[in-house]
Amino acid sequence: MPVGREQIRGIDVDAEGRCAHYHTELDVVANRCTLCGEFWACHECHAELAGHPFGRVGEGVPAVMCGVCGLIMDHATYVAASCCPSCGHAFNPRCLLHAHKYFQPKG
């Protein structure tokens, strides 16, 4: 699980990945689209800017990034954590309501 600092794309994205659509203290998770390979602040930003559907990732693919420290996780690691395993910043639990937009169903 590499820690780095990749760019988070979106509309009015701040230094920790919050965007025009999701901007609470806890909205610091970005997801990678498999079609363009970019990290996005949210599915709405992607829909407005990317020009293609969001490419959902499968199990085991490192595609979720903490916007605070840059830790990149796979879906299972992210779902099991209420906060970043590296820096400890809390994640918004409501983001899991959008999991179907970012991750392929199991099976």
Give yes or no for residue 1 having a pLDDT over 80. no
Cα atoms in the Cβ-side hemisphere of radius 13 Å centred on 49: 19
Domain chopping of the chain, boundaries: 8-102
Give yes or no for residue 3 having a pLDDT over 60. no
* Residue 32: closest CA among 21, 20, 23, 40: 40
Which pLDDT does position 105 carry in this prediction? 87
Give yes or no for residue 75 having a pLDDT over 80. yes
pTM score, whole prediction: 0.92
Per-residue pLDDT of 29-64, as tens digits, reads: 999 999 999 999 999 999 999 999 999 999 899 999
Greater confidence, 6 or 7?
A: 7
